[in-house]
Amino acid sequence: MRKRYPKMLALDGDVKRAIISFMRDYHAREDFAFDCYAFANLVRSIEPHRLRVLRAYWTLKTLSKRPRAGDIVFLLKGHDHFRHAAVYLGSGLYLSVWGGGGDLEVATLKGMMRDFGATKARLATRTSVTT
């Protein structure tokens, strides 16, 4: 019988800080206003805001076949209708918050696409905001 050793994932510093902040400040308080999109904003140090102003803070690009650890991915349906946000961890795994105030979840892109009824995934990069 073959032994299997767990693979260690090297997490981006911003992702580590976001996980700790989420666990301490949101999950521990069961803050139901905090969701997958808020988590993506937390990872990239973007002030909290509503999904309807997504384009003011994020630029969407084609997701490469080899995303880098720490990349933010938005799942969309139809004509860019937002479905979910996740952070790429490496080794084909993504980290996200499941539901408002929910738990951290690790999943594959294929699994998330199926679960959220998404038809496409896009790389989301932070946009510089002018006020």
Domain boundaries, the chain: 13-126
Higher pLDDT, 84 or 13: 84
Pairs from 17-21 (Cβ < 8 Å, separation ≥ 24)? 18/42, 18/43, 18/87, 19/95, 19/104
pTM exceeds cut of 0.75: yes
The stretch 66-88 carries a mean pLDDT of 93
Tokens of 91: 């080794």
Q: Do residues 122 and 74 touch, judged by C-beta distance below 8 A? A: yes
| 17-76 pLDDT per residue, tens | 778 777 777 666 666 567 888 889 888 888 878 888 888 999 999 998 889 999 999 999
Give residue 79's pLDDT.
84
Q: Do residues 73 and 15 touch, judged by C-beta distance below 8 A? A: no
Q: Which CATH number fits domain 13-126: 3.40.1350, 3.90.1720, 3.40.50, 3.40.190?
A: 3.90.1720
